[in-house]
A and B are shown apart, each in its own frame.
Chain A
Amino acid sequence: DAKTTQPPSMDCAEGRAANLPCNHSTISGNEYVYWYRQIHSQGPQYIIHGLKNNETNEMASLIITEDRKSSTLILPHATLRDTAVYYCIVRVKGDSGAGSYQLTFGKGTKLSVIP
Chain B
Amino acid sequence: DSGVTQTPKHLITATGQRVTLRCSPRSGDLSVYWYQQSLDQGLQFLIQYYNGEERAKGNILERFSAQQFPDLHSELNLSSLELGDSALYFCASSVLQTGGEQFFGPGTRLTVL
Contact = CB atoms under 8 A, between A and B. Distances in A.
Interface of A: 32, 34, 38, 41-46, 49, 87, 91-97, 99-107
A52 B2 CA distance: 27
B103 A102 contact: no
A93 B100 contact: yes
A101 B2 contact: no
B18 interface: no
B100 A100 contact: no
Do most interface residues of chain A lie in helix, strand or loop, or is the interface mixed? Answer: loop
Contacts of B55: 100
Q: Which range contains the number of B residues in contact with the other chain?
A: 20 to 34
Given A102-B58, A103-B45, A43 B101 contact: no
A18 B42 CA distance: 24
Interface string B81-92: 000000010101
Do most interface residues of chain B lie in helix, strand or loop, or is the interface mixed? Answer: strand
Contacts of B58: 100, 102
A46 B48 contact: no
A96 B105 CA distance: 26
Given A41-B107, A43-B105, A101 B90 contact: no
Contacts of B11: none
A104 B30 CA distance: 20
